[in-house]
């Protein structure tokens, strides 16, 4: 195992010997954990990054180890969480999320140097991983390193989507820095409560946006379903299926759409078959009529007109069935 995965520098099991320090560390830990949910770590914002190749079996196992680590982190088992995150990295050295998770824990227990190192490693393996830009920017702010904080806030603002609350926060921090005196560094103060409040507000905004999107999608689903039912009643099965397709594109598990889709599909096939049979019947009747007219012309000593009628019969026979 590489040296940087060994925990002998941090004797977490000794923390209970110092009650006050232990309480502060856990408080910081819980506050930093919110980072994972406020600025999504598993899925960076740019749409192009969502179109990734299918994961290998080892990569999937790495993500399972990360999920186990997150469970341990959420209940306060720091050592176990770190062990799972390190295992995830061993399985998939290019898994930026696990590096970022370790950075969060190191920052929570007061090891800013290791935290910085792991955040940087996350960006080394995945320069488009947005959470580490935010975490590095806030880490440097807490250390009073304004220039480095500016650098990472700029990257976070540039890479994120405009409606992303963390992109908006990055832009607001850049505006605040711009207003400040050039070269002036932020004083090194305890900003844990202020930072926790900001994260909580941003988390609420993310949840609100998700709920709004869900409501909008539900409205569209109901509109398409209503139109599909109406078209079905009118016998326009092809268009009804198109509306159901729109529903399932929004929500592939929409029960009502799944229940009636097969029924409408069978009706559409039956309707198409009936239409072909009716056309065939009309063609036969038309051919018979043309034949009778051709015979009549022939009996009247008009072979040219008779030939034209017989030719029309041939056209009907060779015309493709739709």
| Of 301 and 121, more confident | 121
The pLDDT value recorded for residue 177 is: 83
pLDDT surpassing 60 at residue 44: no
Percent of the chain with pLDDT over 90: 34
| Per-residue pLDDT reduced to its tens digit, 69-84 | 999 999 989 999 999 9
Report residue 193's pLDDT band, with 50, 70 and 90 as the boundaries: low
- Report the predicted TM-score, pTM, of the whole model to 2 decimal places: 0.47
Average pLDDT along the chain = 78
pLDDT surpassing 80 at residue 96: yes
DSSP state of 300: T
CB atoms within 10 A of CB 126: 18
pLDDT surpassing 80 at residue 33: no
pLDDT surpassing 80 at residue 42: no
And the tokens for 223?
């509109």
The pLDDT value recorded for residue 210 is: 86
The pLDDT value recorded for residue 181 is: 53
Percent of the chain with pLDDT over 70: 77
The pLDDT value recorded for residue 191 is: 57
| Of 119 and 177, more confident | 119
* Half-sphere exposure of residue 316: CA atoms within 13 angstroms, side-chain side: 19
What is the mean pLDDT of the segment spanning 37-51? 40
Residue 140 three-state SS: helix
Report residue 52's pLDDT band, with 50, 70 and 90 as the boundaries: low
pLDDT surpassing 60 at residue 182: no
Q: Measure the CA–CA gap between 275 and 63, rounded to whole angstroms.
A: 54
User: Of 176, 178, 15, 218, which Cα lies nearest the Cα of 105?
Assistant: 15
Report residue 136's pLDDT band, with 50, 70 and 90 as the boundaries: very high
User: Could you give all domains of the chain from N- to C-terminal order, each with its CATH number?
Assistant: 3-190 (1.25.40.10), 215-318 (1.25.40)
CB atoms within 10 A of CB 265: 14
**Integer angstrom CA distances of residue 5 from 10, 59, 86, 135:** 11, 19, 6, 20
pLDDT surpassing 90 at residue 56: yes
What is the mean pLDDT of the segment spanning 48-54? 51
Report residue 64's pLDDT band, with 50, 70 and 90 as the boundaries: very high
Q: Measure the CA–CA gap between 247 and 134, rounded to whole angstroms.
A: 37
**Integer angstrom CA distances of residue 2 from 8, 113, 315:** 13, 18, 81
And the tokens for 12?
């977490």
320 CB-contact burial (10 Å; exposed 0-12 / middle 13-18 / buried 19+)? exposed
Q: Measure the CA–CA gap between 91 and 70, rounded to whole angstroms.
A: 17
The pLDDT value recorded for residue 122 is: 95
What is the mean pLDDT of the segment spanning 27-55? 45
């Amino acid at each position: 195992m590489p040296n940087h995965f060994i925990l002998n520098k941090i004797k977490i099991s000794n923390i209970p010997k110092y009650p006050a320090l232990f309480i502060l560390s856990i408080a910081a830990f819980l506050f930093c954990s919110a980072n994972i949910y406020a600025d999504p770590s598993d899925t960076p914002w740019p749409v192009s990054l969502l179109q990734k190749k299918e994961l290998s079996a080892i990569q999937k196992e790495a993500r399972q180890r990360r999920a186990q680590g997150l469970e341990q982190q959420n209940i306060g088992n720091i050592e176990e969480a770190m062990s799972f995150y390190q295992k995830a990295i061993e399985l998939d050295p290019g898994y930026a999320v696990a590096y970022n998770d370790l950075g969060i824990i190191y920052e929570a227990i007061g090891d800013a140097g290791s935290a910085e190192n792991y955040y940087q490693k996350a960006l080394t393996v995945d320069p488009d991983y947005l959470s580490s830009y935010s975490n590095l920017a806030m880490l440097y702010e807490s250390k009073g390193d304004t220039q480095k904080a500016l650098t990472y806030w700029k990257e976070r603002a540039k890479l994120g989507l405009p409606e992303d609350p963390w992109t908006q926060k990055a832009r607001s921090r850049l505006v605040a820095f711009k207003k400040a005196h050039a070269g002036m560094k932020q004083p090194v103060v305890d900003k844990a409560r202020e930072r926790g409040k900001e994260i909580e507000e941003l988390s609420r905004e993310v949840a609100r946006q998700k709920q709004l999107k869900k409501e909008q999608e539900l409205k569209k689903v109901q509109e398409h379903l209503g139109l599909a039912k109406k078209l079905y009643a009118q016998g326009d099965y092809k268009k009804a299926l198109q509306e159901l397709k729109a529903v399932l594109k929004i929500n592939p598990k929409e029960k009502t759409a799944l229940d009636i889709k097969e029924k409408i599909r069978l009706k559409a096939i039956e309707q198409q078959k009936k239409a072909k049979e009716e056309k065939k019947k009309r063609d036969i009747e038309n051919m018979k009529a043309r034949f009778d007219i051709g015979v009549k012309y022939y009996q009247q000593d008009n072979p040219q007109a008779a030939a034209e009628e017989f030719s029309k019969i041939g056209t009907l026979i060779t015309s493709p069935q739709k």
